[in-house]
Chains A and B, each alone.
Chain A
Amino acid sequence: MVRVISRRLIQLVVTLIALMTLVFFWLRSLPGGPVDALLGERATPQTRELLTRALGYDQPIWVQYGRFLKNVVTGNFGNSIRTGEPVTDVISRAFPATVELALGAIIIAIGLGIPLGYLAARHRGRLLDNATIIVTLIGISIPIFFLGYLLKDWLTQGVHYFPPSGRISTGLGNTDVTGFFVLDGLLTREFDASADALWHLVLPAFTLATIPLAIIIRITRASVLDVLDEDYIRTADAKGLRSPTIRKRHVLRNALLPVVTTIGLQTGALLAGAVLTEKVYNWGGLGTLITDSISGGRDYPVLQALILLAAVVFIVVNLLVDLSYAVIDPRVRVQ
């Protein structure tokens, strides 16, 4: 197990370096390069030259590349062009918001997805099954930002079931401890703040959950159907085991492996969905940060760091998924 983890960590580092190398050369392959992108096309040659020298772009490419790698390794991402703050500060401020949103989405996707997929499989070919399949197909075909606007329109306008945007009501006077608003409320015993933050979380989390939910339902259904076909289920049935025992011990446990893989994949993919969802609900997390760093001149230092962070999160989540196999499947532990 230790060997697996250490091998994965080495791979993580190699992937990140390769990714940053791609980003580095992609940036420099653009017409004009970062300097033009920062200054716009109408900058005078003098300012352009000044900035080129200030950013070190007049040095040979391999010197630039070496310094770039050194900065990445030491966690020095420079300052945001937009706000002038250190990139690490900007990102760590936005990080909790996105984690909260993503956790909400994962809980919805797993909590609804596995039972629904299982039910669909058990009612194979009947109304419930067909309805589930159609809904999941629409779920993966709908642009999720559009779904966000639809939900907002139906549930926050006129009838105010949910707040239309933001993470918490203004003027609530909640204490910011960790940046996770639901958790903060519990820590400081400001339970009204927790409830309010949860209330704000429902619609965005559901919007973000759409695609993973649809995919988890489909995979669970397919996986359960596969397992139901297996000989050992027939054997268990023939032995006279009671069906709840069969379901729990034999069907669900075996059907869960592909589902766990899917959950890992979808958790990583949530990062992309969060960019869209956060824009719809004005959420103020990493997704909002990406959008802000794109519009009105590209904020390259922030963008570079965000890409790196996204890859780290993605790979770490998948490492966790691999480790969870060992818990579910004893065969993996032996290997």
Chain B
Amino acid sequence: MSRPGGISTLADHKRKRIDELIARTAEAGGVSLLRDAGRRLLRNPTAIVGATIILLFLVIAIFAPLVAPHDPVQRFPELTKDLTVDSIPGSTAGHPLGSDPLGRDFASRMVFGARQTLFVGVLATLIGLLVGVLLGALAGAIGGWVDVLVMRLADVMLALPGLLLAITLVALASRSTQWTVIVAVAVVNVPIFARLLRGSMLAQRESDHVLAARALGVKRRDIVLRHMLPNSMTAVIVQATLTFAVAILDAAALSFLGLGDPDINRAEWGLMLGVDGVRYFEVRPELAYFPALAIIVVALGFTLLGESIREALDPKNRR
């Protein structure tokens, strides 16, 4: 059963998953073992598929202006002239995917959507990661009441389902912007990263390399920054990869609930799917199909890669 002090099975379960990840990465800590895991990863077709999807997504996002046929916010007269409430022009010459509900080139919006989606996903993950890592590292390095405070706070946040917490945070803000979405999705991940880091720190406190550094008289700050933090990064990277997939799905869900970015020029897949895609589903379902497919494929890519790395670090798979 759960440890005394645990709030619920949910928190316990999340904790267990995090602890497992820490244990695996701690064991794979040595360079040769990491190289081992890397080799297993390269042999794993699932990992290759995931990595390819992510790479393709990154290339499209970075080179969006070169890939897209048009400006994503420009309204084209030849598209708007056929535009009515119950008819949105499909594929025409120069506009391979046709128009969006405002007479803009849908293909270009899809391409630039990669960029915005990457932006939202990366920032939401990164903010959650940075704050979580900072809090977790403080808790792990200082211990005492800081540790108790940070971890109790994390437990309270883990007591609500992630998306519900995000909905709550955005809903309680008086109006939503792109930033409320990013911050809300990020906040959900703070306790997860904090737990991860703290656990990893505690696990290392008694490890040989830290003891050796202490014996050599290395300053405490340097031990934490130079010896302990770098060793925790593998676990953090795995978690971040998995978090990215959830982040873009959550952002799409917030858009669907009317809590997304109100800027009508913004081309982001979750926004395109959750607002126009759903509103015009019966008129032109492609407006939903394309962004949905893009989200599914990218989320799948990150999940595949993240799970493969986690698996590769599993000592059971060591051959």
Q: Whose C-beta in chain A lies nearest to the C-beta of B295?
A: A143
Contact across chains for A145 and B1 when beta carbons are under 8 A apart? no
A285 cross-chain contacts in B, Cβ below 8 A: none
B303 touches A140 (CB 8 A): yes
Interface string of A249-285 (1 = CB under 8 A from B): 0000000000001101100110111011001000000
Determine if A319 is an interface residue (Cβ-Cβ < 8 Å): yes
Contacts of B154-170 to chain A: CB distance below 8 A: 155-156, 159-164, 167-169
Distance in Å: Cβ of A87 to nearest Cβ of chain B: 15
Which of the listed residues B156, B164, B171, B281 has the most CB atoms from chain A within 10 Å of its own CB? B164
The answer to whether the Cβ of B245 comes within 8 Å of any Cβ in the partner chain is yes
Kindly state the separation between the CA atoms of A177 and B167 in the bound complex, as whole angstroms: 32
Q: Mark A292-308, 1 if CB is under 8 A from B, else 0.
A: 01110010100100010
Contact assessment for B159 and A30 in the assembled complex, using a CB-CB cutoff below 8 Å:
no
Considering the complex, give the chain B residue whose CB is closest to the CB of A143.
B252
Q: Is B97 an interface residue (CB 8 A)?
A: no
Q: How many residues of A contact B (CB 8 A)?
A: 61
Q: With an 8 A cutoff between CB atoms, is A141 at the interface?
A: yes
Residue B292 at the A interface, CB < 8 A? Answer: yes
Given the known inter-chain contacts A153-B281, A298-B172, A303-B171, please indicate yes or no for A272 contacting B292, CB distance below 8 A. Answer: no
B146 contacts the other chain (Cβ, under 8 Å)?
no
B9 at the A/B interface (Cβ < 8 Å)? yes
Query: Using Cβ atoms and an 8 Å threshold, which residues of chain B touch A15?
Result: 7-8, 155-156, 159
Whether A314 is near chain B, meaning CB under 8 Å from some CB there, is yes
Knowing A307-B168, A315-B159 touch, does A141 contact B296 (C-beta < 8 A)? Answer: yes
Whether B68 sits at the interface, judged by CB under 8 Å, is: no
> Is A261's CB under 8 angstroms from B13's CB?
yes
Out of B9, B257, B282, name the residue touching A322 (CB < 8 Å).
B9
**Cβ-neighbour of B161 out of A268, A293, A300, A319 (below 8 A):** A268
Q: What secondary structure prevails in chain A residues at the interface with B?
A: helix
Q: Which of A31-39, A77-85, A117-125 forms part of the interface with chain B? A: A31-39
**B296-A138 in contact (CB<8A):** yes
Which residue of B has the minimal Cβ distance to A145? B256
Cα of A18 to Cα of B163 in the assembled complex, Å? 19
Chain B residues in 8 Å Cβ range of A319: 8-9
**CA–CA, A265 and B159, complex, Å:** 10
- Which residue of the partner chain B has the closest CB to A22? B156
Known: A143-B249, A332-B1. A314 touches B296 (CB 8 A): no
Per-residue 0/1 for A103-115: is the Cβ within 8 Å of any B Cβ (1 yes, 0 no)? 0000000000000
Instruction: Give B271-295 interface residues, CB cut-off 8 Å to A.
Output: 273-274, 277-278, 281-282, 285, 288, 292, 295
B2 at the interface (CB under 8 A from A): yes
Task: Choose among B159, B257, B281 the residue that contacts A279 (Cβ–Cβ < 8 A).
Answer: B257
Residues in A with CB closer than 8 Å to B300 are: 137-138, 141
The complex places the Cα of A314 from the Cα of B8 at a distance, in Å, of 9
The answer to whether B303 touches A141, judged by C-beta atoms less than 8 angstroms apart, is yes
Q: Given A143-B252, A143-B273, A265-B10, are A18 and B171 neighbors across the interface (CB < 8 Å)?
A: no
Cβ A290 vs Cβ B171 within 8 A: yes
The residues of A that contact B156 with a CB separation of less than 8 Å are 15, 18-19, 22
**Which residues of chain A have C-beta atoms less than 8 A from B253's C-beta?**
143-145, 276
The distance in angstroms between the C-alpha atoms of A11 and B155, with both chains bound, is 11
Q: How far is the CA of A316 from the CA of B229 in the complex (A)?
A: 37
Instruction: Let me know if B304 is at the binding interface, CB within 8 A.
Output: yes
Find out whether the CB atom of B285 lies under 8 angstroms from the CB atom of A36.
no
Shortest CB-to-CB span from B159 to chain A, Å, is 5
| B299 close to A (CB within 8 Å) | yes
Q: Is the CB of A31 within 8 A of B174?
A: yes
User: What residues on B are CB-neighbors of A272 within 8 Å?
Assistant: 161-164, 167
Closest to A26 in B: B172
Chain B residue nearest to A4 (CB atoms) is: B1
Is the Cβ of A276 less than 8 Å from the Cβ of B256? yes
Interface string of A1-39 (1 = CB under 8 A from B): 000100110010011001100110011001110001100
Q: Tell me how far the C-beta of A19 lies from the nearest C-beta in chain B, rounded to whole angstroms.
A: 6
Q: Which residues of A contact B249 (CB under 8 A)?
A: 141, 143
Residues 185-226 (chain A) with a chain B CB within 8 angstroms: none
4 shortest interchain CB distances as A-B pairs = A37-B174, A272-B163, A318-B9, A318-B8
Q: Which residues of A contact B (CB under 8 A)?
A: 4, 7-8, 11, 14-15, 18-19, 22-23, 26-27, 30-32, 36-37, 137-138, 140-146, 149, 153, 157, 261-262, 264-265, 268-269, 271-273, 275-276, 279, 290-291, 293-295, 298, 300, 303, 307, 310-311, 314-315, 318-319, 321-322, 325, 332, 335
Q: Which residues does B use to contact A, with CB under 8 Å?
A: 1-2, 4, 6-10, 13, 152-153, 155-156, 159-164, 167-169, 171-174, 245, 249, 252-253, 256-259, 270, 273-274, 277-278, 281-282, 285, 288, 292, 295-296, 299-300, 303-304
- 17 A-B pairs whose Cβ atoms sit less than 8 Å apart in the complex: A18-B153, A19-B159, A23-B172, A141-B249, A141-B295, A145-B274, A146-B252, A146-B273, A146-B278, A153-B281, A264-B10, A269-B164, A290-B167, A298-B172, A314-B10, A319-B9, A325-B1
